[in-house]
Structure 1
Amino acid sequence: MKFVAFERAKQGTGASRRLRNTGKTPGIVYGGEGEPLLIELDHNALWHALKKEAFHASILDMELGGKAAKVLLRDVQMHPYKPMVQHIDFQRVDAKTKLHMKVPLHYVKAEESQAVKFEHCVVNHVMSEIDITCLPADLPEFVEVDLSGLKKGMSLHLNEITLPKGVTAVTRGKPNPVIVSVVTVAESEEPAAEGAAPAAEGAAKPEGKGEAKGDAKAAPAGKAAAGKAAAPAAKAPAAKAPAAKKK
């Protein structure tokens, strides 16, 4: 991919802010035999270029002052909430010096595998990119991973994939990490639960009837008992007030 950059004379927070207000993005080019160089790019063109995968993982042709140079994208600083690129870094490429880069993994033919097609499993992508080292001429845009041989219960490790010629994987921690795993989908138990529901409801109905009848029978007895208990209290004579003594 190609892009056009221009030399930037001023630096600092204020100068960068004024540059962004005019639709430009400040940047820097470093590495190689030359000194670090301040540059500026058209923001709209840069914004659309950043949406392409190749812009992040391939050698770029930078046109600066009528001369072409090979560079790699190294860092992008985005605004916290606005769709704006605040700063961008590029590194010069030396044809004889090995590069250390992250390249994306492209998974293909998963739907043709036995695990997905016949065993109804789900393929889980554990890693979406890997670290590699290689010469600039051997740098791949991406690494393709064939998943057609997956079966139930399998896991695909890094050393089981084929890397392009001249490319070496770089690992940290685990020497041979898992990049893909096959997950079995649990069978639904809803039909069994639905079949058991009518039986449970049928068993509960007689108990409900019995309870209702029992409550109905118990209600009159309760009322009668309450009436008997209240009757003596009603028949009890009221206490007579003492007669006033005659003087």
Structure 2
Amino acid sequence: MKFVAFERAKQGTGASRRLRNSGRTPGIVYGGAGEPLLVELDHNALWHAIKKEAFHASVLDMELAGKESKVLLRDVQMHPYKQLILHIDFQRVDANTKMHMKVPLHFKGQEESAAFKIDHCLITHVVNEVNITCLPADLPEFIEVDLSGLKKGTSFHLSDVKLPNGVKAVVKGRENPVLVSVVAPAVEVAADPAAEAPAAGKGGKAGAKAPAAKAPAAKK
């Protein structure tokens, strides 16, 4: 994806507020060999861009003063309740330096799996994105996960994912976390009618009440 940025001369709270009022969003570009650079972007164009998945998980082409450079989106600060982007951060990309990114997972084949079609299991996506490291040229926009082989009583782990060439998963804590869980449906046990019926009394109908005892006659 490509976007246009402009150099920003002034900084500070007041300058940023005036910039937002004029329909621009303040930002910064840092990293690499260059010094941090203050920039501003058209807010409407940026608002539509951040709604696209590729803007968050791919190398972007930034045009600045007629020159293009490669950057990554690193942070977006949103207004608490307004549809307003307060600030945005980009990082320069070096083609020969590996980088760390969060990449979304796209699941497919769940409806064709035996766990779903035959056993009617509850399938839950525990993780929707993974941390990876790779060179900028190898960065995938997303990683496709095939769930067509899911079976009852199993789980889908990170090691079950086929990563693109040049891409390595970065795991913290658990070495092989669960991405998708498969839970068998609860089985309802039918009640036994015979067990629920009240026990029959001896020589009488079930549930019949015993006759009330007669009161003794009063003495004259």
Structure 2 unaligned regions, length at least 5: 199-205, 216-220
1:11-50 alignment runs, 5 A limit = 11-50=11-50
Structure 1 unaligned regions, length at least 5: 201-205, 215-220, 222-247
RMSD between superposed Cα atoms in Å: 2.4
SS of the residue aligned with 1:72?
strand
Q: Distance in 2 between matches of 1:31 and 1:94?
A: 9
Residue 55 (1) aligns with residue 91 (2): no
In structure 2, what residue type is equivalent to 1:92?
R
Count matched residues: 209
Q: Distance in 1 between matches of 2:187 and 2:20?
A: 56
Q: TM-score, normalised by structure 2?
A: 0.87
Residue 87 (1) aligns with residue 78 (2): no
Higher RCO (CA-CA < 8 Å; seq separation 6+): 2
Deviations 1:5-45 (A, max 9, x none): 11111000000011111111100001111111100011111
Deviations 1:99-124 (A, max 9, x none): 10000011100110100010111211
Q: Percent of pairs identical after alignment?
A: 71
Equivalent residue number for residue 168 of structure 1: 168
Q: How many angstroms does 1:80 deviate by?
A: 1.2
Residue 151 (1) aligns with residue 136 (2): no
In structure 1, what residue type is equivalent to 2:45?
A
SS of the residue aligned with 2:32?
coil
Equivalent residue number for residue 183 of structure 1: 183
Deviations 1:136-187 (A, max 9, x none): 0000000101001110011111112100000000000111111111111213
Q: How many angstroms does 1:188 deviate by?
A: 4.2
Q: How many angstroms does 1:192 deviate by?
A: 4.2
Equivalent residue number for residue 104 of structure 1: 104
Q: How many angstroms does 1:96 deviate by?
A: 0.3
SS of the residue aligned with 1:71?
strand
Q: Distance in 2 between matches of 1:24 and 1:134?
A: 33
Q: Distance in 1 between matches of 2:71 and 2:197?
A: 73
1:93-132 alignment runs, 5 A limit = 93-132=93-132
- Runs ≥4 in structure 1, deviation > 2 angstroms? none
Q: Distance in 1 between matches of 2:185 and 2:52?
A: 34
In structure 1, what residue type is equivalent to 2:168?
T
In structure 2, what residue type is equivalent to 1:180?
V
Q: Distance in 1 between matches of 2:23 and 2:184?
A: 51
Equivalent residue number for residue 74 of structure 1: 74
In structure 1, what residue type is equivalent to 2:153?
G
Q: How many angstroms does 1:199 deviate by?
A: 5.5
